[in-house]
Amino acid sequence: MGHGQPSRALVIGAGLAALRGAEAMRDAGFSGALTIVGAEPYRPYDRPPLSKHVLTGEIAPDATTVPSSLGEDVDWHLGSPAVSLDRADRLVHLADGTALTYDRLLIATGTRARPWPNPHEGRLAGVYTLRGRDDAIALRKALTSSPQRVLVIGGGLIGCEVASACRQLSLPVTLVQPGPAPLARVLGRYIGAIVGAMHEARGVDLRLGAEVEWLEQANGRLVRAHLVDGTAIEADIALLALGAMRNTEWLDGSGLSFDAGGVDCDADGYVLDVDGRPDTAIAAAGDVARFPHPLYGGRRIAVEHWGHAVAQGVHAGRLLAGDKPERCYAALPAFWSGQAGVTLKSVGLTAGADAMTIAQGDPATGRFLAVYGREGRCIAAVSVDCGRWLPAYAERIAAAEPFPPEETVIDRAGSPAILAPGFS
């Protein structure tokens, strides 16, 4: 690659990583044919507003199409997902029967919402998942039809944001979370409990350590949810916020190394075959790509964040255009979330944290920054309405500086307490 005149680039997926990857290919001088294939009928759009301002009606669902520098020289093939990849003939087959050839291929098929384990219950009227624009349109419609109570099943970022949007709409909402605190998987129990209390203060009925066993219907509509402890919650709307599943099934038979956790990539960003050899005609980016992150011991991780989709999309696009970035992809994971009236921001990965400290502010005031450590190194930081401090800690995390961080606390005397972050 990078010599001769390449003829055909194919981007499978039409989300943010796909778009930024396609743009990066063009920016890096790729002048061949470029086709972008999307399962949904829409040009790439921003997902973060779907669980926030689209639900509250402040942003129209179709207003979230993202800005793009791509011109007319792109062939959009929307509304039909890829169903198989034939690497021997460099062909991708789509559900509508189309077969597209490629010289270089970007895999950016993203994720979908994890379905309810009982498919019949999952299809009841009143039961929703939230991943795409159409999901948000349907949920918004349901929320504006004067529901009795909204039940949110799952206390991750999406579940918490939707519960928050319900309270903004003055709707009664119950959030059921199997763990001891909302957001416990990503923030740990300690910070999760603080954010949980903020949700409760705004009227969210939080059921922790609780699990929905089955959904009861009447005339095909959800009427109540039965919990494992024998109690029931009357609700006519339920949002299943059970996390995401990566869209890798279409790679069956491709000879690539993948599973439900993503498609494996090497440090450059090329995908690996089942024998661990890179296929230099194919790169992957975004939620679906599992890559070795140098900051986390080269452990392969897949990151579902907005900023990652942008940065890794650009990296993969340059790679495929023959403008190989000097360094391996190593962007620090980062996300934000608006919920319970505050802005949560995070840099790094909290997974595996064995210690934590409140480095700035004070949870009692609702504004603070927590730093997470693992084996004596800073690995992540989370701010709650305290975002301006975050870049300084991002640098410490990128440099794997010692934990607890030194000389950071200026607004109180003594050493900051080392706390248990609460990951189990």
Minimum distance, C-beta of residue 255 to another protein, in the bound complex (Å): 33
Residues 6+ away with beta carbon under 8 Å from 327: none
Q: How many CB atoms lie within 10 A of CB 213?
A: 12
Instruction: Check binding of 41 to another protein (CB under 8 A).
Output: yes
Both tokens of 326, joined, read 């000097």
Both tokens of 392, joined, read 């300084």
Minimum distance, C-beta of residue 389 to another protein, in the bound complex (Å): 10
In terms of CB distance, is 45 or 102 closer to another protein? 45
In terms of CB distance, is 72 or 89 closer to another protein? 72
Size of the site for another protein (CB under 8 A): 37
Instruction: Check binding of 377 to another protein (CB under 8 A).
Output: no
Minimum distance, C-beta of residue 338 to another protein, in the bound complex (Å): 5
Minimum distance, C-beta of residue 239 to another protein, in the bound complex (Å): 21
In terms of CB distance, is 60 or 420 closer to another protein? 60
Minimum distance, C-beta of residue 16 to another protein, in the bound complex (Å): 9
Name residue, tokens 């520098």.
69
The only residue of 43, 112, 299, 324 in contact with another protein, by rule CB under 8 A: 43
The only residue of 1, 27, 32, 46 in contact with another protein, by rule CB under 8 A: 46
Instruction: State the angle between helix axes of 133-143 and 157-168 in degrees (0 to 180), rounded to the nearest 10.
Output: 40
In terms of CB distance, is 66 or 409 closer to another protein? 66
Instruction: Check binding of 341 to another protein (CB under 8 A).
Output: yes
Minimum distance, C-beta of residue 309 to another protein, in the bound complex (Å): 11
* β-pair type (205-208, 173-177): parallel
Per the DSSP assignment, residues forming a β-bridge with 371 are 357, 381
Per the DSSP assignment, residues forming a β-bridge with 334 are 347
What is the per-residue binding string for another protein in 63-82, x denoting contact by CB under 8 A?
Answer: xxxxxxxxxx---x-x----
| Residues in 301-340 at the binding interface with another protein, rule: CB under 8 A | 306-307, 310, 334-336, 338
The only residue of 1, 32, 33, 53 in contact with another protein, by rule CB under 8 A: 53
104-107 sheet: strands from edge to edge: 75-78, 33-38, 8-12, 104-107, 278-284, 270-272
In terms of CB distance, is 342 or 409 closer to another protein? 342
Instruction: Check binding of 388 to another protein (CB under 8 A).
Output: yes
Q: How far is CA 124 from the centre of its chain?
A: 26
In terms of CB distance, is 54 or 222 closer to another protein? 54
Torsion sign across C-alpha atoms 14, 18, 24, 29: negative
For residue 379, give the H/E element and its range. strand 377-384
**Alpha helix segments (H runs only) across 180-298:** 184-201
Diameter of the chain measured on Cα atoms: 68
Minimum distance, C-beta of residue 243 to another protein, in the bound complex (Å): 21
Give the C-alpha distances (Å, rounded to integers) separating 123 from 116, 129, 155, 240, 327: 9, 10, 21, 11, 46
DSSP secondary structure of 179-200: SSSTTHHHHHHHHHHHHHHHHH
Instruction: Check binding of 114 to another protein (CB under 8 A).
Output: no
Q: Which stretch binds another protein (CB under 8 A): 35-43, 88-96, 221-229, 264-272?
A: 35-43
Residues 6+ away with beta carbon under 8 Å from 146: none
Instruction: Check binding of 363 to another protein (CB under 8 A).
Output: no
The only residue of 322, 387, 398, 419 in contact with another protein, by rule CB under 8 A: 387
In terms of CB distance, is 310 or 321 closer to another protein? 310
Give the C-alpha distances (Å, rounded to integers) separating 66 from 63, 110, 133, 406: 9, 16, 13, 40
Distance CA 151, CA 239 (A): 6
In terms of CB distance, is 133 or 189 closer to another protein? 133
In terms of CB distance, is 300 or 367 closer to another protein? 367
Per the DSSP assignment, residues forming a β-bridge with 374 are 377
The only residue of 223, 232, 244, 342 in contact with another protein, by rule CB under 8 A: 342
Q: What is the contact surface with another protein in residues (CB under 8 A)?
A: 41-43, 46, 48-49, 53, 58-60, 63-72, 76, 78, 306-307, 310, 334-336, 338, 341-343, 345, 367, 385, 387-388
